[in-house]
């Protein structure tokens, strides 16, 4: 009973922490830019409620335009290299960036579907993602799969497995990533073990 309560509390924390962090960052940016703009607006006698929010959105938009062009991308990469050399800061930044990238399209688009394979030995089932398909000279079909690590799904191993040896669960790529990052705690209400065959 106590263990179940702990798991639910931890699952709740995993769900609310990203929202809370996002809210805190946005609130900080709104207050920061509002504090910069307020003296200027007061001097010209203009009052715009929520101007910090508008200014934040405008700056973020133009920052997005800037980092997507050649010069901006070069400067952005240069800034990343500086951050990667700072102790503690580099660990926090790289972790946030890797987890964010897992949900912002690149990883999700690369992964075609979720499957279960027996890895690292028979009898142990591992969730992984299909990245490609191929055939050998005998016409046998294979999946190219990426087996991610927990809680960082951007690292892992690449394996080629016969299609006949895999299990196809009813799990989306997004839900699969959530389950891996949370160590199986956030499973979107699905039974992961219920997706596995009872007998080999």
Domains present along the chain, CATH in parentheses: 2-85 (no CATH), 111-195 (2.30.30)
SS3 84: helix
102/98 Cα distance (integer angstroms): 6
Q: What is the pLDDT of residue 189?
A: 59
163/165 Cα distance (integer angstroms): 5
67/77 Cα distance (integer angstroms): 9
The per-residue pLDDT for range 41-89, each reduced to its tens digit, is 667 666 666 666 777 777 777 777 766 665 666 766 777 777 677 776 6
**Structure tokens, 51:** 């101007």
Q: What is the pLDDT of residue 141?
A: 96
Give pLDDT < 70 ranges for the chain: 1-19, 37-38, 40-42, 44-52, 66-73, 75-76, 83, 88-90, 92-109, 186-190, 199-200
Average pLDDT for the chain: 76
Which ranges constitute the DSSP H helices of 104-146?
106-110
Which ranges constitute the DSSP H helices of the chain?
2-43, 51-67, 70-84, 89-103, 106-110, 173-181
């Amino acid at each position: 009973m106590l263990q179940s309560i702990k798991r639910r509390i931890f699952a709740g924390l995993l769900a609310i922490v990203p929202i809370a962090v996002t809210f805190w960052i946005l609130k900080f940016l709104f207050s920061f830019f509002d504090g910069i703009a307020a003296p200027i607006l007061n001097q010209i006698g203009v009052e715009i409620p929520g101007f910090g929010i508008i200014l934040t959105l405008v700056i973020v938009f133009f920052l997005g335009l800037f980092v997507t062009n050649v010069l901006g991308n070069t400067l952005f990469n240069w800034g990343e290299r500086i951050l990667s050399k700072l102790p503690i800061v580099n660990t926090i930044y790289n972790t946030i960036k890797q987890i964010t990238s897992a949900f912002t399209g690149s990883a999700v688009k690369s992964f075609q579907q979720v499957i279960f394979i027996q890895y690292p030995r028979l009898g142990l089932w591992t969730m992984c993602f299909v990245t490609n398909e191929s055939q050998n000279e005998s016409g046998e079909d294979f999946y190219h799969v990426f087996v991610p690590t927990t809680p960082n799904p951007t690292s892992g191993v690449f394996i080629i497995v016969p299609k006949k040896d895999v299990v196809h669960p009813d799990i989306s790529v997004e839900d699969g990533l959530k389950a891996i990052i949370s160590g199986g705690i956030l499973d979107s209400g699905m039974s992961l073990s219920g997706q596995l065959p009872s007998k080999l």
